[in-house]
Amino acid sequence: MTSPNEIEWLIFIPDIGGTLEKRMSVRELHIKEIAKHIDSGLFQMGGATLHSPPKDGKLNISGSAIIARANSVEEVLEVLKQDIYYRSGVWDFDKIQIHPDDAV
């Protein structure tokens, strides 16, 4: 449910180096868990960020990018900290970037 006070947030979360195998092992759970946030309208878009374009069908994943709609950055952080990528130590939360966005 959206409210008039919600704004868009552009979020970049790098992965901790050497966690690709861990990321892939919890990916299905990540997708299952975020479904409710997509359905609620909190997450508008999301996916892996890459170090470089895919080559030979292989993704060189560097982290995650998300567009969220929420009333505050604290609301976004609360949800992200429940994600399996955070809980399992894939995301480098010390380097997270969250910016208010005004996309059209």
Structural domain boundaries in the chain: 7-101
Give pLDDT tens digits for 8-41.
Answer: 999 999 999 999 999 999 999 999 999 999 999 9
Instruction: Check residue 48 and report its DSSP letter.
Output: E
Gap between the Cα atoms of 29 and 52, Å rounded: 25
Question: Which pTM value belongs to this model?
Answer: 0.90
The confidence score (pLDDT) of residue 3 equals: 66
Domain 7-101's class? alpha beta
Indicate the Cα dihedral angle 85, 66, 68, 88, nearest 10°.
Answer: 0
